[in-house]
């Protein structure tokens, strides 16, 4: 199976509320994690990333939390807006053979923002 | 500046045929990586090219191949198409490659195999 997975396939939140999207990973060798957003008919868009030497990183309205003990990653979106409706993917980035990097994506969570 | 451009956007092929997809990265980006997206398997990494060299390869059969030209444009080819190859094929460009994570994706080429 996939080494990166999401707990919930869908999430509905009220406009203005905070959203939390979760992701579990299984490879302890992964040292870099990224969140992407994919709107319908478009390619994924980079949101925020975090390296394994950090446990929290904040961006504009988004925060990523990393818990290496339980191999868990979360994306928090503050004051969720209709434009945040999309599929969100987590991805883990680890060093493979030699200096090559491998990128593994989670299955995605569909976030729907309700008016 | 212009984003990542993928052509064609949509195409239909039959089993046994081959297909070539093209990706023009953002100007100045030397890395192009390719991904297959399906409802069942999600987003899966195919390969990455950097300055015309394949730097990394995912777990796909040899029917899937790619190359990168001196202007950083990239093509991927799938030979002897199978029904299961129906998917959205995405390419992404970046300055440093997938090691940086900040990838800029195109809108994809949707391939249907009949």
**Whether B56 and A102 lie within 8 Å, measured CB to CB:** yes
A43 CB neighbours in chain B (<8 A) are 4, 90, 92, 105-108
Phi-psi region of B39 (alpha: psi -120 to 50; beta: other; left: phi over 0): alpha
Rg (CA), chain B: 13
**Whether B107 and A43 lie within 8 Å, measured CB to CB:** yes
Q: Is B92 on the interface with A (CB under 8 A)?
A: yes
Closest CA of chain B from A10, distance in Å? 14
Task: Name the residue among B98, B106, B108 with its Cβ closest to that of A103.
Answer: B98
Strand, coil or helix: A103: strand
Above 90 in pLDDT, residue A17? yes
Residues pairing with B20 in the sheet: B77
pLDDT in tens, A68-82: 999 999 999 999 999
Residues pairing with A90 in the sheet: A35
pLDDT in tens, B34-85: 999 998 888 999 999 999 999 888 899 999 999 999 999 999 999 999 999 9
């Amino acid at each position: 199976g996939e080494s990166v997975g999401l707990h919930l396939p869908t999430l509905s939140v009220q406009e203005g509320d905070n959203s939390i999207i979760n992701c579990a990973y299984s490879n302890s060798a992964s040292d870099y994690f990224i969140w992407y957003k994919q709107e319908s008919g478009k390619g994924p868009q980079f949101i925020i990333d975090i390296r394994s030497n950090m446990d929290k990183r904040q961006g504009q309205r988004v925060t990523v939390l990393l818990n290496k003990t339980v191999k868990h990653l979360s994306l928090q979106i503050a004051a969720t807006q209709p434009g945040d409706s999309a599929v969100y993917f987590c991805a883990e980035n680890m060093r493979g053979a030699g200096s090559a990097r491998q990128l593994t994506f989670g299955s995605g969570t569909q976030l729907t923002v309700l008016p | 500046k212009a984003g990542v451009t993928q052509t064609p956007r949509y195409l239909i092929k039959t089993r046994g045929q081959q297909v070539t997809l093209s990706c023009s990265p953002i100007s100045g980006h030397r890395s192009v990586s390719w991904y297959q997206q399906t409802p069942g398997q999600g987003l899966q990494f195919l390969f990455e090219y950097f300055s015309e060299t394949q730097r990394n390869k995912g777990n796909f059969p040899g029917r899937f191949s790619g190359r990168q030209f001196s202007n950083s444009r990239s093509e991927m080819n799938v030979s002897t198409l199978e029904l299961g190859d129906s998917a959205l094929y995405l390419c992404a460009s970046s300055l440093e490659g997938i090691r940086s994570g900040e990838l800029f994706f195109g809108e994809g080429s949707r391939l249907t195999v009949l």
